[in-house]
Every structure is written in C-alpha cells, then in structure tokens.
C-alpha cells in the first residue's frame, strides 16, 4: 500500500441487536476482523481507528430533529420496530451515533491529512434512511450526513457521493438532492427494493445520476455502467471529496441481490475511484459500509477494498 489507509470502526456498532435471523446482524461486522487476522501484512499496513459518536446536531444536518428524538426515545424505552424491516434495541442509539460518527471522523481525517483514504466498518447501514423515518434496515443516513458535514465544516463546493450497493440509495438521494453542491451516483438492481432510482430521475437540480441495471448480467457491464455514470457526473465538475456507499450486496452470491460482481471487480472499481480522486482532490476518498449479507463474502470484499484504497 503506497498510502496509509485508516480502518475506522467502533465497538458500539455491535450493540444494535436485530437478532441473528435478521439479515443485518452483528455477524456482518464480526466477520471483518476475523478475516483480517489472517492477513497480517494488510493488518499492519492499516491505521486502526476507533471512531467517535455523532452529535444530535450533526445528525440534524440531514434529519428532522423530531425524528432524531423519536429514535432516541424508542431506544430508551427498550427498543421496537420503526418499519417492517427496521428494528431498534436498547443499544441502538449508541450504535447509530457511532456509525455516523465514524464516517464523520473519516471526513475529518481526509481533510486534515491523517488518512486521506479511509473505510468505516459500521452498522446499521444508512442509505435508505429518510429525513423523518427509518427504512430498509437504516436509521440515519451516514453518508448523506457526512456529505453535508463536509460542506458545513470544510466549505466544500463539490462533493461526489457514489453508491454501488445493489439497492438504490433512495435515502441518500432524498437527503442530498436539494443541495446543488452534491452530485449523487447510484447503480442498483432494477426492478428491486425499494423501487426507486429510475434512469430519468435526476433530482431537482440535475445532480443525480441513477443507473438502474437488470440482474445477472456479465459483471463487466456493471463496472462500465457505474464508471460511465461517475465520469458523466464529474464532467466539467471536479469534486473536493469523494464519499462512497460501499454496499457489498452487489457481489455474486449475496442473498439479497442478483448482481454478479466479483472480488476482482471490487478491486477494479475501488482503484478506478482512487485514481480519479487522486486527479480531482488530493486522493480524498471516504468509504462507508452499507449492505452485504453473506458475512464471509462481505469480509473478503472489505479486505480487497482496503488493499485497493492504499
């Protein structure tokens, strides 16, 4: 690795207890250090960081204060269900604030030079969360909050958000599409949950590039489609920061999707974004875990991603 990459996480992310029968369970995160301990060279090349918790004011960069309070209150009452797929437990407030805080820590490190590229291994994921409600395993939009944080704290004029999760990042789109300084690219399976992300949906400022793709294509077609959209989104528009929603449910074999991407494709896509970030913005690339529901496969993909970030 030519660039030292930070692996950011927080033990509180494991306190979000969905139950082992739920696809988004704590085993997704546990699998990553378990795999990493078998790759000593990569382990030693990374900077291992315990992230911080986001504040309610930081969450409010993208979410309604009343919704934030509703989540916190439900957790304090012992937990419950926010939508048919999304539950909270007594540890979920600590988990969701740690998840968002790790990604904000990644933005800080990208700008102060401590780790211009970093990956946050966090849960629950965030890219389906809306301004005032939870959706699809997601409570708060970690990446959307981070994009708005980069603008608020560092005065960014152009933030590129890329989402390669197999599901459309409807929450991220909803939370950033009114901000013309953010360009959003999402490649996702179509038709598939949540049923949004049509190709002609460009948002109110024409700052959204949705790439709906059918399942089971040769993986090179997904790679080409995503990178083509990234290049379209950055034509005559140079990002100050790249934020990646790294959902590894896009991989062949994930139980919640039918894309065919391989570990080699993860390397190819990661390197392509790294090379673009080097040209655009001093290499600043902040990556955060979204989906990925086959834990061993997820962990292998994360290791490939971490190597390619360096």
Q: Catalytic residue numbers?
A: 128
CA–CA separation, 292 and 28 (whole Å): 8
Residue with token string 């960014």: 156
Q: Could you tell me the two tokens for 219?
A: 């993986």
Determine contact, residues 179/208, Cβ cutoff 8 Å.
no
φ, ψ for residue 243, nearest 5 deg: -120, 130
Say whether the peptide bond before residue 124 is cis (omega within 30 degrees of 0).
yes
Determine contact, residues 254/294, Cβ cutoff 8 Å.
yes
DSSP character string of 13-59: GGG----TTSSS-THHHHHHHHHHTT-HHHHHHSEEEE--PPPHHHH
The whole-angstrom distance between residue 27's C-alpha and the CA centroid of its chain comes to: 18
CA–CA separation, 260 and 147 (whole Å): 29
């Amino acid at each position: 690795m030519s660039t030292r990459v930070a692996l950011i996480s927080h033990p509180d992310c494991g306190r979000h207890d969905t139950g082992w029968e739920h696809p988004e369970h704590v085993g997704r995160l546990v699998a990553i250090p378990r795999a990493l301990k078998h790759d000593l060279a990569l382990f030693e090349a990374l900077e291992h960081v315990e992230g911080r918790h986001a504040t309610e004011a930081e969450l409010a960069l993208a979410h309604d204060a009343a919704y934030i309070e509703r989540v916190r209150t439900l957790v304090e009452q012992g937990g419950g269900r926010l939508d048919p797929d999304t539950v909270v437990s007594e540890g979920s407030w600590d988990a969701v604030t740690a998840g968002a805080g790790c990604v904000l820590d990644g933005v800080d490190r990208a700008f102060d030079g401590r780790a211009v590229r970093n990956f946050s291994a966090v849960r629950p994921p965030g890219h389906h969360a809306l301004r005032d409600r939870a959706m699809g395993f997601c409570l708060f939009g970690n990446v959307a909050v981070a994009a708005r944080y980069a603008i608020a704290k560092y005065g960014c004029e152009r933030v590129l958000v890329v989402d390669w999760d197999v599901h459309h990042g409807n929450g991220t789109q909803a939370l950033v599409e009114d901000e013309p300084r953010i360009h959003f690219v999402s490649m996702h399976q179509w038709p598939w949950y949540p049923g949004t992300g049509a190709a002609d949906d460009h948002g109110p400022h024409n700052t959204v590039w949705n790439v709906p793709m059918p399942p089971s294509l040769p993986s090179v077609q997904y790679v080409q489609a995503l990178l083509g959209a990234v290049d379209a989104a950055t034509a005559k528009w140079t990002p100050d920061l790249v934020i990646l929603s790294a959902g590894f449910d896009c991989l062949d074999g994930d139980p919640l999707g039918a894309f065919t991407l391989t570990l080699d494709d993860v390397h190819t896509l990661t390197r392509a974004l790294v090379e673009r970030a080097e040209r655009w913005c001093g290499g600043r690339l902040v990556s955060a875990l979204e989906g990925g529901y086959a834990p061993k496969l997820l962990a292998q993909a994360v290791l490939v991603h971490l190597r390619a970030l360096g």
